[in-house]
Chain A
Amino acid sequence: MTPTVQIEGSTGRVILSGQFDFSAHREFRQVCESLIANADVREVLVDFQNVNYLDSSALGMLLLLKEKIGSANKTLALVNCRDAVKQVLEIACFGKIFTIR
């Protein structure tokens, strides 16, 4: 899976596709770091529209991202979570620490 990035105004959107697991580690990190480094971007959205599977290491990557975004004083939201993704996020109760839309 290769994440793509769209920037509209102050919102940066990371669009993921396929399986989001440890194999996506490097690309996901690079894409996110570019958004964090971009001073115009105030809000980062991780878009799960095309993701059909999410494993626990993906949850770990989201936690890392949250930490980095927080220290850069930006906001983060997880958007367009479909059923399979939503279910994993619910079991982990990630709704308690992430904005999920």
Chain B
Amino acid sequence: MKILVVDDTDAVLLLISRFVEALGHTAIQARNGVEAVEAWRGQRPDLVLMDMMMPVMSGPEAAAMIKAEAGALWVPIVFVTGVGEENRLAEAIEQGADDYINKPVNFRVLEAKLKAFSRTLDLNRQVVEQSTKLADYYDRAEEEKRVARHLIDQMVNAERLSDPGLEYWLSPAESLSGDLIAAARTPGQVLHVLLADGIGHGLTAALNVLPLTQPFYSMTEKGYSISDILAEMNNKIRQVLPVGRFVAVTLLALDEANDCVEIWNGGMPALQIVDLQGCLLKSVPSSNLPLGIIPSHSMDFAPVRHYFDQAGLLVACSDGLIEANGPEGGAFGIERVLEAIGNNLCGNRIESVKESLSEFLQGHSHHDDVSLVLMSFGVDAKPAERAGTESPAIEPGFTMPSLRALDLCKWRYSLTLGADELRYINTVPFMMTFVNEVKSLTHSQSDVFLILTELFVNAVDHGLLGLDSKLKQTAAGMEEYLQERAVRLAGLTEGRIEIDLAGLDYGGSELLQIRVKDSGAGFDWSGWSRAEAGQTTFAHGRGILLLRALCVGVQFVGNGSEVLAFYRPSRNRQPHVNAAD
């Protein structure tokens, strides 16, 4: 040890210094309090042996200064005291001195005391070292969490959650959430909402749900159905997460144009559908394994459909909410969630659930991540109908003969699919990948998707599969229609569909021509123009109205198995087709 010896009597100073050195320590000498403080500043001794009564500055004064300057660093100070100094000594010890030894110094006792201090100093150093390390770890962990949080926020794209008709609440048990809520609209304005819950909570749970975001956003953007997105998410999780890790998922698709919500629930608590009076209409329990456990081909990604004829609310939450345990035992439960919503149907429903939960927990915190999504449906005007009232079928200046006479094409994208390919290729989203790249169509993604979908579905459903759209007039019929469609498509052995996109030059501006031809028998399209007059109010008529509203010209050719549509790309960013904006 490096020991600072302070005494105004040279003899004593020398004697103690020699003794300390004899024990193998290094002695630093000082003759009064001021010198002692300076020596401490300059040489940082491990321990101080100090006389009390000294000229210039006394021992206790110097001790107080050294202790103050040392701060968190522990410098033991031992006073060497004469008889009659007990009172001052007691004061000095109270002010921070560590020990004392009586004059005349008993060297045997001093040696023992120095050994004891040496041991305590070692221990003290270890503790300091460990706590510094701990503080370092803590800082590093906080920094990592900060970066992770930023990364996750970026990938989750909270901006898109601010969709009208969507309310949500996410409250992590730790600083990072293992629950994930994401929302995005397809080019056809179908609202996709993802609610996912990874195992556990905190960083690892957050990492588990991250792989879902990329397929969710990119495939929704291209207009893929939720079944396709689920299959891809399942593949992704199996690819990147270790065995034993899985993600419970609810995926919703709200299609206001067709009055339908598609729901897929794999491992999440049952979803509740309530009407605007708060009455429960339907409950959709989990009927699938969570994602990431078995291969996609062994999973059933077919969604449950709810067709609505009145406005309502869909309630989805993670088990962290309904299993939150109150201080008196028992879980919060879905009934309390629905009750809180029902009590405040027209107000801030999320806030009322939050209040109900915090009242239930009585100031305790929830142990798992809590998330809640409320999706309103049937409230807004239908996009298709609204679009239908917007613009005349053929704008002035565009006549069918003049459109058909255009033959200068700047680019062309043609695709022909046979029966085999039609069974498994998701054609429209696939073509959207190309459309996304065409600069002149940048602001028209949504329109092009709607037109392509309408024309393609018509060609497949009516041209090749011979389905009757009259079925689609009721919810039950719709379900039957879709089932029949799946059966006929699976059994399709012959037939082909040609799709042709071309960029035409129309007086200096670009015009998109979409041609779809099927190998079917065609149909009598002479009656088709009547639909134009607004006589068709059935679901299947909306498609035609939509086409006429979006395109500057639509015409069937020959026996009706070929259709040409002309579309003038928008130059401005399209707002979301929604009554709220």
Q: Is the CB of B246 within 8 A of A59?
A: yes
Q: What 0/1 readout, one digit per residue, does chain A (89-100) give for beta carbons within 8 Å of chain B?
A: 011111011000
Q: Report the Cα distance A98→B245, complex, angstroms.
A: 16
Contact pick for A63, options B200, B246, B268, CB 8 Å: B246
Q: Is the CB of A92 within 8 A of B286?
A: yes
Q: Which residues of B contact A94 (CB under 8 A)?
A: 289
Q: Is the CB of B244 within 8 A of A93?
A: no
* Most chain A Cβ neighbours within 10 Å, of B244, B266, B294: B244
Q: Which residues of B contact A63 (CB under 8 A)?
A: 243-244, 246, 293
Q: Is the CB of A91 within 8 A of B289?
A: no
Residue of A nearest to B285 (CB): A91
Q: Is the CB of A56 within 8 A of B289?
A: no
Q: Which residues of A contact B268 (CB under 8 A)?
A: 91
Q: Which of A2-51 contact B (CB under 8 A)?
A: 22
Q: Report the Cα distance A55→B294, complex, angstroms.
A: 20
Q: Which residues of B contact A57 (CB under 8 A)?
A: 199-200
Q: Which of A53-95 contact B (CB under 8 A)?
A: 55-57, 59-61, 63-64, 67, 90-94
Q: Does B312 contact A (CB under 8 A)?
A: no
Taking A91-B268, A92-B290 as contacts, is the C-beta distance between A64 and B244 under 8 angstroms?
yes
Q: Which residues of B contact A60 (CB under 8 A)?
A: 199, 244-246
Q: Does B267 contact A (CB under 8 A)?
A: yes
Q: Is the CB of B199 within 8 A of A93?
A: no
Q: Report the Cα distance A53→B367, complex, angstroms.
A: 14
Q: Which residues of A contact B246 (CB under 8 A)?
A: 59-60, 63
Q: Does B536 contact A (CB under 8 A)?
A: no
Q: Report the Cα distance A57→B199, complex, angstroms.
A: 6
Contact pick for A93, options B243, B287, B319, CB 8 Å: B287
Q: Is the CB of B243 within 8 A of A56?
A: no
Taking A60-B246, A63-B243, A63-B246 as contacts, is the C-beta distance between A93 and B288 under 8 angstroms?
yes
Q: Which of B255-290 contact A (CB under 8 A)?
A: 266-269, 285-290
Contact pick for A92, options B245, B289, B294, CB 8 Å: B289
Q: Which of B167-214 contact A (CB under 8 A)?
A: 197, 199-200
Q: Does B248 contact A (CB under 8 A)?
A: yes
User: Interface residue tally of chain B, by bracket?
Assistant: 20 to 34
Q: Which residues of A contact B285 (CB under 8 A)?
A: 91
Residue of B nearest to A22 (CB): B200
* SS class, residues of chain A in contact with chain B: helix
Q: Is the CB of A91 within 8 A of B200?
A: no
Q: In angstroms, how far is the closest chain B Cβ from the Cβ of A33?
A: 14
Q: Report the Cα distance A59→B247, complex, angstroms.
A: 11
Q: Is the CB of A96 within 8 A of B199?
A: no
Q: Is the CB of B267 within 8 A of A92?
A: yes
Q: Is the CB of B200 within 8 A of A97?
A: no
Q: Report the Cα distance A93→B269, complex, angstroms.
A: 11
Q: Which residues of A contact B245 (CB under 8 A)?
A: 60
* Most chain B Cβ neighbours within 10 Å, of A61, A64, A94, A96: A96
Taking A56-B248, A60-B244, A63-B246 as contacts, is the C-beta distance between A93 and B267 under 8 angstroms?
yes
Q: Report the Cα distance A96→B268, complex, angstroms.
A: 16
Taking A92-B290, A93-B266 as contacts, is the C-beta distance between A64 and B200 under 8 angstroms?
no
Q: Which residues of B contact A55 (CB under 8 A)?
A: 368
Q: Which residues of A contact B290 (CB under 8 A)?
A: 92-93
Q: In angstroms, how far is the closest chain B Cβ from the Cβ of A48?
A: 18
Q: Which of B475-502 contact A (CB under 8 A)?
A: none
Taking A60-B199, A92-B267 as contacts, is the C-beta distance between A67 and B243 under 8 angstroms?
yes
Q: Report the Cα distance A60→B293, complex, angstroms.
A: 10
Q: Is the CB of A64 within 8 A of B243?
A: yes
Q: Which residues of B contact A64 (CB under 8 A)?
A: 243-244
Q: Report the Cα distance A56→B286, complex, angstroms.
A: 15
Closest 6 CB pairs of A and B: A64-B244, A60-B244, A56-B199, A92-B267, A63-B244, A93-B289
| Interface, chain A (partner B; CB < 8 A) | 22, 55-57, 59-61, 63-64, 67, 90-94, 96-97
Q: What are 25 A-B pairs at a CB distance below 8 A?
A: A22-B200, A55-B368, A56-B197, A56-B200, A59-B199, A59-B246, A60-B199, A60-B244, A61-B244, A63-B243, A63-B246, A64-B244, A67-B244, A91-B248, A91-B269, A91-B286, A91-B319, A92-B248, A92-B286, A92-B289, A93-B266, A93-B267, A93-B286, A93-B290, A94-B289
New A-B pairs, 4, CB < 8 Å, besides A64-B244, A91-B269, A93-B288: A56-B200, A57-B199, A64-B243, A91-B267
